[in-house]
Amino acid sequence: MYNKGLLLSLLLASTTQLACGQSEADRMQISGAVLPLPEDMREGAAVLGFRAAAPDRLVELREGTNDMICLADKPGDENYHVACYHESLEPFMSRGRELRTEGKERDEVARIRREEIENGALVFPDHPAALYSRTGKTYNAETGQIEESRGLHVIYMPYATAEETGLATAPANGAPWLMFSGLPWAHVMISTD
């Protein structure tokens, strides 16, 4: 015969461990996701991440108090990649994620988003907006660092061209350069260590 008190205690302990483990998983995702940001922006950034019940769907792990949104690393990817961007870019970013989930390839995603921006169906900022990212091997929870990583800072400058900015359109010697010159999502790329 089972000891009901013991069984209840074990069940409660298991449930508590599961809840604490999930909370720890959220904290790990949050601490890794905000690393690309300057330190004074990290605490207030909203963080979107993943839960075991729906590993392919982003959920809000933390509400933000500033204008930045950070994406946690997607489990199971080859690299550890996190990115944070200004909230004005969220409709554009969200639409890209939606189209990729539908199975659309890179060129088709770009075509659809451009059409939607130009016809007003997709909101895109009319001002510069920043994105910070970091890509590496793994996240080391003990050190709070992404191992063997490199950073990328991006400044979206809608419709900017090489001619009007004086920026090169290809990377050279670590200098900033303009990607997607003339497109709505034209942006300055700045690589960091």
- The H or E element containing residue 12 is helix 4-33
- Nearest to residue 146, comparing CAs of 77, 99, 98? 77
- Rounded to whole angstroms, the Cα distance separating 171 from 159 reads 19
Higher pLDDT, 9 or 156: 156
- What pLDDT does residue 126 have? 94
128: pLDDT strictly greater than 50? yes
3: pLDDT strictly greater than 90? no
- What pLDDT does residue 12 have? 37
What percentage of the chain reaches a pLDDT higher than 70? 88
Domain ranges of the chain: 4-192
Average pLDDT over residues 7-12: 36
Do residues 46 and 38 lie in contact, with contact meaning Cβ atoms separated by under 8 Å? no
Say which residues have a Cβ less than 8 Å from residue 2's Cβ, sequence separation at least 6. none
4: pLDDT strictly greater than 70? no
- What pLDDT does residue 8 have? 36
Using one digit for the tens of pLDDT, what is the confidence trace for 154-178? 999 999 999 999 999 999 888 999 9
- The H or E element containing residue 188 is strand 187-192
- The H or E element containing residue 145 is strand 145-146
- What pLDDT does residue 9 have? 37
Q: Predicted confidence band at 10 (pLDDT cuts at 50, 70, 90)?
A: very low
Three-class SS state of 57: strand
89: pLDDT strictly greater than 80? yes
Higher pLDDT, 36 or 56: 36
20: pLDDT strictly greater than 50? no
Q: Which backbone phi and psi does 114 adopt, to 5 degrees?
A: -65, -45
Do residues 62 and 27 lie in contact, with contact meaning Cβ atoms separated by under 8 Å? no
- Rounded to whole angstroms, the Cα distance separating 10 from 50 reads 28
